[in-house]
Each structure stands twice: as structure tokens, then as C-alpha cells.
Amino acid sequence: MHFTINGATHSVEPDIRASLLDVLREHLGLTGTKKGCDHGQCGACTVLVNGRRINACLTLAVMHQDDDILTIEGLGSADQLHPLQAAFIKHDGYQCGYCTPGQICSAVGMLDEVAKGWPSHVSADLETITLDGHEISERMSGNLCRCSAYPNIVDAIAEVAGAERA
């Protein structure tokens, strides 16, 4: 099967039972995407598939023939950090760092959802989305942080989004 990961085309022949997470980590050596719970509950494995955020542990790799997949390794580089990566550092939103790749990939997807005008469960106005701390927290609720860096994570995302922290 073929797919594009971080801008490069890859061909792999995974076991048909292998999750996208396992193929990324074990077949392609992309270990930035973490295996936290392997049940879709923690968000540590969040990647972007065709621009949408998904839990890589919950999807079979064979379902992604010809898809465009973006992992944390494809967001920035040591010389040129993605704005969210820089904001996480500035606001100490990474602490132990284990959940950070999933948090950042999820935040990238979340900001794209907001730009497209997709409301969340707490959006007061379905036509005009106000991105504040409450809205960010709701939209990021699928990503857990055992270090409890949530206020710092929300601050980092709010800074990049130009939102008010509430």
C-alpha cells in the first residue's frame, strides 16, 4: 500500500490488522506519535489524515491507501518550529512531553476546524465561533495530559490563534 507521510511517499505491506500508529512507529520509525492507551482515550497518537485529526491507534493502516498523513515530525524542524511548537515551549505546555506530539497535532487540526467555521458542543453561536479558553478546552478534550499542563496548553493554543484566554 502507498500513502504520503509528511510530504514523502511511502510503500509498506503491513499486516492487515496493524493500526496506523503501529505502522508509523514500527515500520517507518516515526516515533514522535505516541502510544498512550491504545484504546483511543488519551489522544497521544493524534495525527492528521487528509487534514483531519484522528487517533492513529483506532484506525487500520490499510484504510489509508493514498491518504496524506501528517505527524509531529512533519510539522516543523529544529531550525523552523511550527508556531504551535514554539508556543508550547514558551508557555511550558509540554512538561514531561509524552502527550505533546498528540496535543500539537490535535491543536493544528482544531485550528483548521475553527477556520472552516465548524462549531463545537460549547459554541454559543453556530455562525460565528469565538475561540476562547473554554472553547479551546472543549475542542482539545480528546487529548489528556497526566502532568496537568492544561492551562499552559490552552495558553499556547490561544496565543497562536490570537484568542482570549478565559
Domain edges within the chain: 2-73, 83-161
Task: Quote the CA–CA distance of 65 and 11 in Å, as a whole number.
Answer: 10
pLDDT, tens digit (0-9, with 9 covering 90-100), for 72-81: 999 999 999 9
Based on the number of CB atoms within 10 Å of its own CB, is 112 exposed (0-12), middle (13-18) or buried (19 or more)? Answer: middle
Give the domain 2-73 fold: Ubiquitin-like (UB roll) (3.10.20)
Cell of 29: 520509525
Burial class (CB in 10 A: 0-12, 13-18, 19+), 71: buried
Q: What is the pLDDT of residue 140?
A: 98
In whole angstroms, give the CA distance from residue 54 to residue 56: 6
* pLDDT higher than threshold 80 for residue 49: yes
Same fold, 2-73 and 83-161: no
- Cell triple for residue 94? 509540554
For the chain, give the percent of residues with pLDDT over 90.
87
Whether 47 and 71 have beta carbons less than 8 Å apart is answered as: yes
Supply the pLDDT for residue 165: 61
Q: Which helix (H) or strand (E) holds 46?
A: strand 46-49
What mean pLDDT do residues 124-149 have?
92
Q: What is the pLDDT of residue 113?
A: 96
Instruction: Report the pLDDT value the prediction gives residue 164, as an integer from 0 to 100.
Output: 63
Nearest to 135 by CA among 104, 164, 115: 164
Output the pLDDT for position 50: 98
Q: What is the mean pLDDT of the chain?
A: 95
pLDDT reported for residue 137? 96
83-90 helix and 150-161 helix, angle to the nearest 10 degrees: 140
Rounded distance, CA 72 to CA 151, Å? 21
Query: Nearest Cα to 75, choosing from 111, 21, 23?
Result: 111
Fold of 83-161: DNA polymerase; domain 1 (1.10.150)
